[in-house]
Structure 1
Amino acid sequence: MAQLTELEQRVLREKATEHPFSGRFLYLQSDGVYRCRNCAAPLYRSDAKFDAGCGWPSFDDEIAGAVRRQVDADGRRTEILCGNCNGHLGHVFAGEQLTARNTRHCVNAAALAFTPNSTEGQQVAVFGGGCFWCLEALFQRLIGVDKVVSGYCGGEASKANYPAVCRGDSGHIEVVQIHFTPSVISYGQLLELFFDCHDPCSWDQQGADKGSQYRSVIFAQSEAQHAEALAQKQQRQQHSPQPLVTQISAAQPFYSAEADHQNYYNQHSSQAYCDWNITPKIAKLQQKYADRFK
């Protein structure tokens, strides 16, 4: 059995319900299998997932024999449980006419984990969302991420240096280049965490870091990445009260940052900026994405 966070325990073992729009997987469109977070039993295939607009992951069909139903304690709803470990998943509803199958499994994200279906070799993702120290520290800690390099994108090679970028007029954006294994963590999962780890509604600013070098941007490395990034952004926008300003651009030349900017947090975690900004952010996301962290 998995080591669960406090929220995961309350959901799976005490039948609690997480707050709507607070969990994961709402915008994930990667091909794969959703599993029980407690015992890893396969529960739902990604082609059964749909956006019900309710704030919880929704599926209109389960893997045969994977989900058990029982009348809820209130006598009015049908509870769904993992057929293998009896962990509480959520509730199932029928007759809402939301899909052709006319069924909605309303599942707590905290009850789920995800395994991608992919046979592709290592890929690269490039994201910008504020100081690259922050993004590097976060993505370094993910299972399936093999290497993270801090660097610059969007400007000329002659200006790809920290002093020039910090002036804000070099045309560069601070980014991280993420080398990942798609069979372990999908590009869509990286996007999900990227949108969640910074403010995609803030133009040229993340917290105290101000300037065009801190712009929210995705440099898509392929047409497939561009399409997936655009789809996830559009879906998120439907549920956001503010416009998402994240730019989705074609791949640009990547310039590795200076050596003293690589692996920065791991070497300076007690430094003030790291202590008050990066450490709490990692701790918060580690609770929400516990199964993805090393």
Structure 2
Amino acid sequence: MNNLTEFEKYVIEQKGTERPFSGEYVDHDAHGVYCCKKCFAPLYKSEHKFNAHCGWPAFDDEIAGAVKRTPDADGRRVEITCDQCGGHLGHVFEGELLTDKNVRHCVNSVSMVFKSIDELNMSDSAPNQIQKATFGAGCFWCVEAIFAQLEGVISVKSGYCGGDAKEANYHAVCSGRTGHAEVVHIEFDPAVIHFETLLSVLFESHNPTTLNQQGNDKGPQYRSVIFAHNSEQVDLANAYIKQLTAQGIWPNPIVTQISAFDTFYPAENYHDDYFAKHGEQPYCQLVVKPKFDKVMSKFADKRKK
């Protein structure tokens, strides 16, 4: 979660409104994604934005599953909030005939942060170019060991992501106060393994229904999270979670966050290949190995030859 200023708290947490034509995104037209200021969940793509001449940024569509609608108590308007953290965005209006979709999300600039195409690595690269994925699913020793075994995965690095602290180390992140999650940063060849396959391995390798906890590991650093590198990953992750929810595979709601990737901080070198190097340790034998064996048996056909 991002640390908010007092004015940001007023708008996002107390449902206030910024003055018309005062926000930085009113006339903004760069290519990228608008994310929640509080939790960095992707909300709107730049192609959703249009000029409604109303004094606030306007969008006629949203990223699937990103925005929640709730009628105001007086029934006159419909509030829109970030579906992931509940942060106030603004209100949605229909029937104004301003665009073909006939809907206007009127959003406070201060409720959002913009990620450009360069920041999100969203350029239209060749389909077979090396791509990246960043996942949090509890202790990175477990997650790194699993993804490192997959055919098409070129490298896996343990590290930290998602906090407002401008640096990260194991001791600080373990305190739970930096906002960073333990993650694995993956480079993969999409010609060999698809992002959807990585998602399926991710959800097999941890419990996505326990908030800020995996087994006995507790704290926000162990949260279930997908840091999306581009808009396609946002769409695929949302669709996959929706599919799992519809199938009823998990008895409790999935709490996996989807956030825009920002900065990855590599973990200290002694974390590299931890399970491979220290498999005899009690934690590896009791926690990592059973999970590793379970996932690898299910994805045996995906293992490196």
TM range (shorter): 0.5 to 0.7
Structure 1 residue runs of 4 or more that deviate by more than 4 Å after TM superposition: none
Asked if 1:149 corresponds to 2:157, the answer is yes
Structure 1 length-normalised TM: 0.59
| SS of equivalent residue, structure 1 residue 192 | helix
C-alpha separation in 1, matches of 2:208 and 2:137: 8
- How do residues 31-42 of structure 1 correspond to structure 2 at under 5 angstroms? none
Letter in 2 for 1:257: A
Determine whether 1:190 maps to 2:190: no
Distance of 2:272 and 2:166 partners within structure 1: 20
Q: 1:222 aligns with which of 230, 233, 236?
A: 230
Provide the C-alpha distance between the structure 2 equivalents of 1:180 and 1:188, rounded to a whole number of angstroms: 12
Partner of 1:244: 254
Q: CA RMSD in A?
A: 1.2
Q: Tell whether the 8 Å contact from 2:165 to 2:180 is kept in structure 1 after alignment.
A: no
Letter in 2 for 1:127: F
Alignment partners' CA distance in 2, 1:285 and 1:158: 34
The aligned residue for residue 270 of structure 2 is 260
1:171 aligned residue (154, 169, 179)? 179
1:284 aligns with 2:273: no
Q: Aligned-pair distance for 1:184?
A: 0.5
The unaligned stretches of length 5 or more in structure 2 are 1-125
Of 247, 269, 287, the match for 2:279: 269
- Alignment partner, residue 218 of structure 2: 210
Identity of aligned residues (%): 50
Separation (CA, whole Å) in 2 of partners of 1:248 and 1:271: 33
Work out the CA distance in 2 between the residues paired with 1:280 and 1:143.
21
Aligned 8 A contact 1:204 1:213 in 2: yes
CA distance in 1, matches of 2:271, 2:166: 18
Question: Structure 1: how far apart are the matches of 2:268 and 2:262?
Answer: 19
* 2:213–2:220 contact (8 Å) kept in structure 1: yes
> Which consecutive residues of structure 1, in runs of 5 or more, have no partner in the other structure?
1-117
Q: 1:181 aligns with which of 183, 189, 196?
A: 189
Q: How many residues align?
A: 177
Q: State the alpha-carbon separation in 1 of the partners of residues 267 and 169 from structure 2.
A: 7
The offset of 1:156, in angstroms, is 3.8
* Secondary structure class of the residue paired with 2:211: coil
Q: Which deviates further from its counterpart, 277-286 or 181-190?
A: 277-286
Give distance in 1, aligned partners of 2:299 and 2:164. Answer: 36
Structure 1 residues 229-270: Cα deviation after superposition (integer angstroms, max 9, x where no partner): 000001111122311000011112110011111111111111
1:124 paired residue number: 132
- Which digits, 9 at most, give the CA deviation of each residue in 1:28-54, with x for residues without a partner? xxxxxxxxxxxxxxxxxxxxxxxxxxx
What's the secondary structure of 1:138's corresponding residue? helix
- In structure 1, how many angstroms separate the alpha carbons of the residues matched to 2:270 and 2:165? 19
- The CA deviation string for residues 72-98 of structure 1, in whole angstroms up to 9 with x for no partner, is xxxxxxxxxxxxxxxxxxxxxxxxxxx
Structure 1 Cα separation of the partners of residues 143 and 291 of structure 2: 10
Q: What is the match of residue 21 of structure 1? A: none
Q: Distance in 1 between matches of 2:237 and 2:166?
A: 30
Deviates more, 1:150-159 or 1:235-244: 150-159
Q: 8 Å contact 1:159–1:165 — kept in the other structure? A: no
For 2:235 and 2:166, locate their aligned partners in 1 and report how far apart those are by CA, in whole Å.
31
Structure 2: how far apart are the matches of 1:158 and 1:177?
A: 18
Alpha-carbon deviation of 1:157? 4.9
Cα drift, residue 277 of structure 1:
1.0
Q: Give 1:221's aligned amino acid.
A: H
**Counterpart AA for 1:284:** K
